Amino acid sequence: MTISFEGQVALVTGAGAGLGRAYAIDLARRGAKVVVNDLGGDPFGVGENRSAAQKVVDEIKELGGEAVANYNSVADYDGGFNMVKTAIDTFGRLDVVICNAGILRDVAFHNMSEEDWDKVFAVHIKGSFTVLRAAWPLFRQQSYGRVVLTTSSSGIWGQFGQANYGAAKTAMLGLMNVLKQEGAKYNVNVNTVAPVAGTRLTQTVMPQEMVDRLKPELVVPAVVYMVSKECQDSGLVIEAGAGNFNRAVMVKGPGLQPGMESLKDAEWCQANWDAITSLEGATPMWRSGQTLKDYLASKAKA
């Protein structure tokens, strides 16, 4: 079955190049009207240039699609509002948000400055908040919305020299895990992609040969599916890139439950550490205190 976005409007942040551009173009080819957001700064979050977003808008129009450029910064609260306002003022609605905008400021932790930390958090995690905070009331009102956040292997598994980036990308998982719950009754699904692609950002940390091979288009299928009405899953993290797709998940091990009748000490933990840390029989969770299996079962009964 062909996945179509006819009649829908999508907002893609950081869509002036790389992954964002690839998402925007594929969505437009499938009938979506697209708000192409990009401040046009460099990979380190410096400067601005409106030509990046406008160039992608022009590409979409040449393909016969509809698009409008937005040049606001995701790191600014009013900027996030204005992106959503652009969608409503231009196309009358908003159905899809892809939080893709990002920067890198890689440096070993002992050399990391306050600005290195704050800038990365401002673009990645605050930048997701500003846009979604403006879009969320619309999604609730229309009982429909599809969101994809962007994490990274640095946030899931860790990468030397990326304490700021990795921590911000892990924060995406916390944001997703709350919003998936708050959006469930309103048919608002929130998933997360961990992409691997050759872009302006990864060009600063990857050999050029690898950058050239890791086409952003290799990530697009997973993201476009997750923001479609056909996708009914919420709260998933999908790693995508280099022709590979897989789910990454945080699970809860069975552990030990000795109860509160007697206080345990560090020596007890030492003696039982293997059982406490075992992942045999581990299960994904939907929220604190409820497994994903139990949640899906209750949803099926509703």
Q: What confidence tens digit (pLDDT) does each residue in 272-283 have?
A: 999 999 999 999
CB within 8 Å of 118: residues ≥ 6 apart: none
Residue 201 pLDDT level (bands cut at 50, 70, 90):
low
Q: Convert the pLDDT of each residue in 209-237 to its tens digit.
A: 676 677 899 999 999 999 999 999 999 99
What does pTM read for this prediction? Answer: 0.92
List 23, 144, 165, 295, catalytic entry: 165
CB 152 within 8 A of CB 106: no
Q: Convert the pLDDT of each residue in 115-170 to its tens digit.
A: 999 999 999 999 999 999 999 999 999 999 999 999 999 999 999 999 999 999 99
Domains and their CATH numbers in the chain: 9-248 (3.40.50.720), 251-301 (no CATH)
Q: What DSSP character marks residue 111?
A: G
CB 60 within 8 A of CB 95: no
Query: Does 165 qualify as catalytic in the annotation?
Result: yes
Percent of the chain whose predicted confidence (pLDDT) is above 90: 86
Q: What is the mean pLDDT of residues 54-59?
A: 97
User: Which bin fits 103, alpha (ψ -120 to 50), beta or left (φ > 0)?
Assistant: beta
When comparing pLDDT for 42 and 152, which is higher? 152
Tell me which residue of 69, 85, 164 sits closest to 126, measured CA to CA.
164
Residue 203 pLDDT level (bands cut at 50, 70, 90):
low
Q: What is the mean pLDDT of residues 75-93?
A: 98
Residue 46 pLDDT level (bands cut at 50, 70, 90):
low
pLDDT given at position 267: 96
pLDDT given at position 198: 62
pLDDT given at position 301: 84
pLDDT of residue 43 exceeding 80: no
pLDDT of residue 44 exceeding 60: no
CB 145 within 8 A of CB 138: yes
Mean residue pLDDT of the chain comes to 93
Q: Is 36 helix (H, G, I), strand (E, B) or coil?
A: strand
pLDDT given at position 214: 74
